[in-house]
Amino acid sequence: MDITVNILLTIATAATPLLIAAIGELVVERSGVLNLGVEGMMIMGAVGGFSAGYLTGSPWIGLLAAIAMGAVFSLLFAIMTLSLATNQVATGLSLTLLGLGLSGMMGTSFVGQPGARLPNLDIPGLTAIPVIGRLLFGQDPIFYISIALTAGVMWFLFKTRTGLTLRSIGDSHTSAHALGIQVIRYRYLSVIFGGACAGLAGGHLSLVYTPQWVENMTAGRGWIALALVVFASWRPWRVLAGAYIFGAVWIGQLHAQAFGIPVPSQLLSSLPYLATIVVLVLISRNKRLTMMNTPASLGQPFVPDR
């Protein structure tokens, strides 16, 4: 029983950063903006979170710094693509490159320093309940944030008027503009929200997952988050499912190896990617629904005529 709980906890830790970054990017893409800079914003969040946590000794301040760092960094993307109408793909890619380089430079003096770790939740009485206690009441704070965030985004996008407006902008910015909606303002806020989420995901890496700073520590997780959004056909609950399937197969294959299952490790290593894609493609196989969910003006620059 204990091993099952441990495995589930490990899966949650592996899935959380993917989920948070993907949910943020989902909102951005729903507003019609394609930001490929997730990896860059994530690593900036990681370095910002670690350094603030290390310097102040408080991982909570680190957490806030991670969010702020991601948001500020995404503002750069917003100014370029929204105010200056640059190409979103190129700008997003350069944001990733810039983030990887800049974070390495900023983090030089923190390499080889152990950092502060965000403590796990510990509610007297509840956390000690066998099996479900640790799963429900004993995880790291960011895990709870990630679940709340997913629920919040689902509610916001599909149950609120503002959410509807945001989706309509993503579908046709010219129509939205003609209706008098402030397209650019909505998009600015979405991009910054996405940046804050990516920053938080990075903070999870450097404050919970592996409390340390090393260059490139995101190791491609930003790209996985991006892929999750597309394969989940822009639906929040599918992103949640995708992140956890990925996490489960990711951890499962490590256990399979440790257990001594005679399958080539290279194949096992590629399983998380394969499994996630297959499952998400299967659940999004209804073409019409997928078309409906795809933001029609995704990636197109918008220049309002005056």
Partner 1 sequence: MKKLLIALMAAAAALSLAATAEAQEKLKACWVYTGPIGDFGYSYQHDQGRLDVEKALGDKVETAYLENVSEGPDADRAFERLAREGCKIIFGTSFGFMDPEVKVAKKFPDVKFEHATGYKTSDNLGIYNARFYEGRYILGQIAAKQSKSGVAGYIVSFPIPEVVMGINSFMLGAQSVNPDFKAKIVWVNSWFDPGKEADAAKALFDQGADIIVQHTDSTAALQVAEERGLQGFGQSSDMIKFAPKAQLTSLTDDWGPYYISRVKAVLDGTWKPGNVWLGIKDGAVKMAPYTNMPDDVKAMAQATEKKIADGWNPFTGPIAKQDGTPWLKDGEVADDATLLGMNFYVKGVDDKLPK
- Smallest separation, CB 48 to partner 1 (Å): 16
What is the rounded CA–CA span in Å between residue 232 and residue 225? 10
Which is closer to partner 1, CB of 26 or CB of 42? 42
Which is closer to partner 1, CB of 251 or CB of 280? 251
Contacts of 11 (CB under 8 A, 6+ apart): 244, 247, 248, 250, 251
- Per the CB < 8 A criterion, the answer to whether 35 and 77 are in contact is yes
Burial 193-228 (b: 16+ CB within 10 A, else e): bbbbbbbbbbbbbbbbbebbbbbebbeebbbbbbbb
Which is closer to partner 1, CB of 17 or CB of 236? 17
For residue 79, the Cα-to-chain-centroid distance in whole angstroms is 21
Instruction: Show the tokens assigned to 158.
Output: 């599909």
Which is closer to partner 1, CB of 124 or CB of 264? 264
Burial 88-106 (b: 16+ CB within 10 A, else e): beebbebbbebbbeebbeb
- Smallest separation, CB 85 to partner 1 (Å): 23
Contacts of 181 (CB under 8 A, 6+ apart): 165, 168, 169
DSSP 187-205: HHHHHHHHHHHHHHHHHHI
- Smallest separation, CB 114 to partner 1 (Å): 5
- Smallest separation, CB 178 to partner 1 (Å): 39
Which is closer to partner 1, CB of 27 or CB of 201? 201
Q: What is the CA radius of gyration of the chain?
A: 20
- From the list 57, 16, 20, 12, the residue with the least C-alpha distance to 38 is 20
- Smallest separation, CB 40 to partner 1 (Å): 11
What is the rounded CA–CA span in Å between residue 219 and residue 46? 12
- Smallest separation, CB 44 to partner 1 (Å): 15
Which is closer to partner 1, CB of 12 or CB of 154? 12
Residues that bind partner 1 (CB under 8 A): 3, 6-7, 10, 13-14, 93, 96-97, 100-101, 104, 107-108, 111-114, 205, 209-217, 219, 221, 250-251, 254-255, 257-260, 262, 264-266, 269
- Smallest separation, CB 39 to partner 1 (Å): 9
Which is closer to partner 1, CB of 8 or CB of 147? 8
- 77: three-class secondary structure by DSSP: helix
Which is closer to partner 1, CB of 6 or CB of 160? 6
- Smallest separation, CB 185 to partner 1 (Å): 32
